Structure 1
Amino acid sequence: MSWWHVLLLFAAGVGGGLCGSIAGLASLTTYPALLLVGLPPVTANVTNTVALVLNGVGSVSASLPELRGQRAAVIRLVPAALLGGAAGAALLLTIPAEGFEKAVPLLLAASAVLIALPQGEHVADGPPSVTRRVVESLCVLAICVYGGFFGAAAGVLMLALFLRMGSEALAHANATKNVVLGVANGVAAVVFAVFADVEWLAVVPLGLGCLVGSRLGPAIVRRAPARPVRLAIALAGLVLAVKLGVDAYG
């Protein structure tokens, strides 16, 4: 791996950390960077998942003030995150590489559309009922399966879920999302580290960049106009999805 590749991956990691803070979509910059340095799709995906562990570390550490008082909710959702992340990783390792390569453009396109959609904030009235808690846990499980399998836009889905079903405000929903997805991603990363072909030389610069970006993100997001940035990210994702689709189906 050349120095140019190292710098590219570090820059993509910083961008991924920032994108994750703005829109919950770190993989939209990190995964394409791994493809650009020559990794095949499945190897790029598992390497990306391992590197994003540091993105989770940075995001959670930056969210500690908002996590106060959310211990019970986090503990309740962690089992679903653990199971979902492991199941998604197992699914990725069992399907043919060609099948994953053809699924990626569709996943990226859907992720880009999700990132462009406005996210309203809905605060539920009163404490969550048993039914709402069960539905929320099942939705978390499904999103974490997807997160362990591919991951792009999993943060968008999770944030939308917590805003519409939980009682917390945006900052608190985002903090909970960081923990839950961090757990799911961490479990998937362990599975990939043991059973998959991880490109460790790429993990280091990409992961360090993610750590820096995820720590800087909250401060930058407070001053940046979020909507134009989200639309720019979505447009880039759609362009990439079209290119990968042409390569996979052409």
Structure 2
Amino acid sequence: MELLNGVLIFFAGLWAGTINSVVGSGTLVTFPVLIALGFAPVTASISNAMGLVAGSAAGAWGYRREVQGRGRQLLKLLPASLLGGMTGAWLLLHLPEKVFSYAAPALIVLALLMVVFQPRLQNWVRNREENPEHAIRDKRHGVILVVLVYLAGVYGGYFVAAQGILLVGILGVFMTGTIQNANAMKNFLVLGVNVVAACSYLLFASGRINWTVVGLIAVSSLIGGVVGSKVGRRLSPAVLRGVIFALGLVALGFMIANLLK
């Protein structure tokens, strides 16, 4: 790997680790960079997901105070995330690579829409928080929450990008507490998805893993996760969303161009 490529991947991982712990969507930074550097989509997705495990762990540790008193709730939701992550990883490994080539652009569009509409979603969550009479406490919604967390895990195991934003939205609506509580829970659930997906890739797709990419993203996202959990909240969300959106469009352009070849 050329030095310049390695530097680009390292800084992409640093940025991804930082914003993953704060808002999610770090994959929309690293994935476009890997695609632009010529990596095959599935190899890029697998290597990126494995590398980001370290950053997810750092982010979860940084937000550990926000999950205090919510251990039982986390233990109820974590199995759904783990099972979803395994399902998504299985789909990535067993569906033809051509399916991912067609699905990835659509998933990028979905992820970008979640990034764009995140402020409105957060405002909705805040309004619910400020109006406790609207809080959902019916037991049936507990089942819905578990199912939605599982589906978010499937999405994360297959594609990774923006599963954090998806989870914050789900948890913010169906779970009592603040947005920071939802964000902390998100970090732990995303970590679970990433770990089981990475183990699946390691066991069943080791030949598709680019270990140089994994190492660069692991180290840089670990640093970014520590930074993000401490000072990332001071960064402008609007600026982050703008850059993420731009990089997502770059990835979309590269993937569509490859399909048209």
Q: TM-score range by the shorter chain?
A: over 0.9
Q: Secondary structure, in 3 states, of the residue corresponding to 1:227?
A: helix
Preserved CA contact (<8 Å) 1:47 1:200: yes
C-alpha distance in 2, partners of 1:3/1:167?
48
C-alpha distance in 2, partners of 1:249/1:23?
33
C-alpha distance in 1, partners of 2:204/2:107?
24
- Other-structure match for 1:228: 239
- Other-structure match for 1:106: 106
- Other-structure match for 2:78: 78
Which letter maps to 1:41?
P
CA 1:163–1:86 in structure 2 vs 1: closer, same or farther (change >3 Å)?
same
Q: What's the offset of the Cα at 1:211?
A: 0.6
Preserved CA contact (<8 Å) 2:85 2:156: yes
C-alpha distance in 2, partners of 1:36/1:231?
19
Which letter maps to 2:64?
L
Q: Percent identity?
A: 30
- 1:5-154 to 2 correspondences below 5 Å: 5-117=5-117, 118=119, 119-120=122-123, 121=125, 122-123=128-129, 125=133, 128-154=137-163
C-alpha distance in 2, partners of 1:103/1:164?
28
C-alpha distance in 1, partners of 2:244/2:29?
9
Matched, 1:174 2:183: yes
CA 1:232–1:35 in structure 2 vs 1: closer, same or farther (change >3 Å)?
closer
Structure 1: 5+ residue runs without aligned partners? none
C-alpha distance in 1, partners of 2:230/2:246?
24
C-alpha distance in 1, partners of 2:239/2:220?
23
- Other-structure match for 2:251: 240
Structure 2: 5+ residue runs without aligned partners? none
C-alpha distance in 1, partners of 2:176/2:73?
11
Which letter maps to 1:17?
G
Residues 226-235 or 199-208, more deviating = 226-235
C-alpha distance in 1, partners of 2:18/2:56?
12
Preserved CA contact (<8 Å) 2:84 2:193: yes
C-alpha distance in 2, partners of 1:181/1:79?
12
Q: Secondary structure, in 3 states, of the residue corresponding to 1:212?
A: helix
The CA deviation string for residues 206-229 of structure 1, in whole angstroms up to 9 with x for no partner, is 111111111111333332221232
Q: What's the offset of the Cα at 1:127?
A: 7.8
Q: Over aligned residues, Cα RMSD in angstroms?
A: 1.7
C-alpha distance in 1, partners of 2:136/2:247?
40
Q: What's the offset of the Cα at 1:143?
A: 0.6
C-alpha distance in 1, partners of 2:222/2:113?
26
Q: How many residues align?
A: 250
C-alpha distance in 2, partners of 1:132/1:232?
35
Q: Secondary structure, in 3 states, of the residue corresponding to 1:77?
A: helix
TM-score normalized with structure 1 length:
0.94
Structure 1 runs (4+) greater than 6 angstroms displaced: none
Q: Secondary structure, in 3 states, of the residue corresponding to 1:187?
A: helix
Q: What's the offset of the Cα at 1:98?
A: 1.3
Matched, 1:198 2:196: no
Q: What's the offset of the Cα at 1:246?
A: 2.7
